[in-house]
Amino acid sequence: MVIDDESTGRVNVRATSTGVALQLTFTADETVRTTMATTAVPGGTPLNFFQLGGAYHVTGTVAGRQIDFTARGSAETFKPR
């Protein structure tokens, strides 16, 4: 599995295994950021907590069946300030 979250507002995930080849793209259109001072390790950078709302688009094959769908969803993550 490869996760690319370098682009602001977008997360791309590629997953491959026996019988599975999927590409998932999450595009955020709502973001709530919460500063989390208590997440810093000594001498480290505090993290922000992000709650995201948006659309998931999934394409690929599972067990030989083609899939392609879009659905509304949410995600959460921590990122350095």
pLDDT in tens, 11-23: 999 999 999 999 9
Per-residue pLDDT, 40: 67
Task: Please tell me the total count of domains within the chain.
Answer: 1
Q: Burial letters for 71-80: b for 16+ Cβ neighbours within 10 Å, e otherwise? A: eeeeeeeeee
- Look up the domain containing 32 and give its range: 2-80
What is the model's pTM?
A: 0.80
pLDDT category at 62 given cuts 50, 70, 90 is very high
pLDDT in tens, 12-61: 999 999 999 999 999 999 999 998 877 767 777 888 899 999 999 999 99
